[in-house]
Amino acid sequence: MWRLFFIIIIALQGLVYYSFIKYLKTTRFYKPSHRWWVLAPFVIFNLSALVISLVWGRSFMPPEWFKYLGLYPYYVWMAATFLISLWLLAGKIIKLPFQIPVWIAKLIKPLREKINAFKNRKAVKTIDLSRRKFVRYTTMGLSAYAFTGAAYGILRHDAYKIEHKEIKIDNLPPELRGTTVTLISDIHAGQYMNEKEMREYADVINELGSDIICIPGDFVNFDSRDIHALTAAFRDLKAKYGVYGSLGNHDFFQDADYVSKGIMNESPIQLLRNQHRKINIKGKDLYLMGVDDTRGSGAQMDAVINYYEQVELGASALNQGFNDSPKILLCHKPYGFDALAQKNIDLVLAGHTHGGQVVPIKFGNFNLSFAASVSKYIEGLYKIGKSNMYVSRGIGSVGLPIRINCPPEITKITLV
């Protein structure tokens, strides 16, 4: 998987390098030696990636000074060149349907001569020159945006926002109105989220003073052993009616059982692995449920829906008032909300998407990101019938420690 990832990154950076050299050749400043000067940063930054990955491995924890002088410039380079390469690749894909017929036609000599004659017309040359200038200046503008945005997104990747939301639960008893739930997700303990940073989050969460704290998955990122840093940071996490969590796909990418044992033995977090809890508040019951994600579920939520059905069956058999009581479900991925809404769940708490993490364009409900290409559920509150779902942007990062147009989020929800 990682080999394929590096091959794709190198191929995309090769496209950026080739395109920039092609542009330089159209200027009066170009010299053949420039090819090597331009190649230098590509070699340096990619060698850095290999050194970090192969020598230090996934547990590489550099000092603060090295982050700013060594890692952050590398992150900016990788993020910016990736965005630029996608722009260039999109342009080539768009042009491909038009270029293929022309290329085939040029294989026939009479047609080739007519095409060349047409392209040599003065009007056609003028239009082509204008088009090239537009594409060139657009690419230059996008490149400036990519580097500036990447630098800003990396320096501000941990600049969280506290969101306050009221969510209406149709069958909520009067005694439970005003119950508060703090939601965080996608901590991704590891290289991009160390113990000190997690302690700061824990302090903020405790200061919010919610009745319940919920964490729907992705406790670790690259290494299951990082769960110990998380449990050390969150050992004093507290809420009147408890702290609850469920596992996410990254927890399964590593070692879900190891992560689970660390959480349950070293922290106040009650992990709900296809389980439920009945919480009595002012004499009324509120049911909290949690389902595991899976290692390879992707957008297919069949296994997760089956997990929920088992939890529902067990809870209803053990608790006479289950069906008529308000229910909250911790489910890492939001993709299954259409199916879960048919189960009369009052509130689903999810994460996974990071709000897109890198969102080049965001306007109202329009979100241009990879997450948006997978699911219509990206961030915020959604409602189907009587069921609600809140999707957290999370507090951690994957891939690179970068956030653009979707800051980390701590959410305090009030049930009304």
Separation of alpha carbons 341 and 331, rounded Å = 13
Separation of alpha carbons 277 and 289, rounded Å = 6
Q: What is the pLDDT of residues 275-294, one digit of tens each?
A: 999 999 999 999 999 999 98
CATH architecture of 162-415: 4-Layer Sandwich (3.60)
Q: What is the pLDDT of residues 77-126, one digit of tens each?
A: 888 888 888 888 888 888 888 888 878 888 888 887 887 887 778 776 77
Q: What is the pLDDT of residues 50-77, one digit of tens each?
A: 666 655 555 556 677 777 777 788 888 8
Separation of alpha carbons 261 and 275, rounded Å = 16
The chain-wide mean pLDDT, for the chain, equals 87
> Band of the pLDDT at 137, cuts 50, 70, 90?
confident
Position 61 scores a pLDDT of: 64
Separation of alpha carbons 224 and 252, rounded Å = 9
Closest by CA to 416, choosing from 163, 162, 161, 164, is 164
What's the distance, CA 407 to chain centroid? Answer: 11
3-state DSSP assignment of residue 400: coil
| Contact between residue 395 and residue 197 where contact means Cβ atoms under 8 Å apart | no
Strand segments (E) across 275-326: 275-281, 284-291
User: What average pLDDT does range 183-203 have in this prediction?
Assistant: 93
Better-predicted residue by pLDDT, 213 or 152 = 213
Better-predicted residue by pLDDT, 228 or 138 = 228
Closest by CA to 43, choosing from 79, 5, 1, 14, is 14
Closest by CA to 35, choosing from 23, 49, 45, is 23
pLDDT > 90: percent of the chain: 49
Better-predicted residue by pLDDT, 131 or 37 = 37
Separation of alpha carbons 292 and 218, rounded Å = 11
Separation of alpha carbons 145 and 260, rounded Å = 42
Q: Where are the domains of the chain?
A: 2-155, 162-415
Separation of alpha carbons 382 and 338, rounded Å = 10
Better-predicted residue by pLDDT, 9 or 263 = 263
User: What average pLDDT does range 351-370 have in this prediction?
Assistant: 86
Better-predicted residue by pLDDT, 44 or 260 = 260
pLDDT tops 90 at residue 268 = yes
What's the distance, CA 98 to chain centroid? Answer: 35
Separation of alpha carbons 272 and 331, rounded Å = 10
User: What average pLDDT does range 374-400 have in this prediction?
Assistant: 93
What's the distance, CA 315 to chain centroid? Answer: 32
Q: In this structure, what are the phi and psi dihedrals at residue 320, rounded to the nearest 5 degrees? A: -65, -35
pLDDT tops 80 at residue 31 = yes
By DSSP bridging, strand 284-291 and strand 327-331 are: parallel
| Contact between residue 347 and residue 388 where contact means Cβ atoms under 8 Å apart | yes
Position 52 scores a pLDDT of: 64
Strand pairing partners for 215? Answer: 245
Query: 403 is written with which tokens?
Result: 């956030």
Q: In this structure, what are the phi and psi dihedrals at residue 383, rounded to the nearest 5 degrees? A: -145, 130
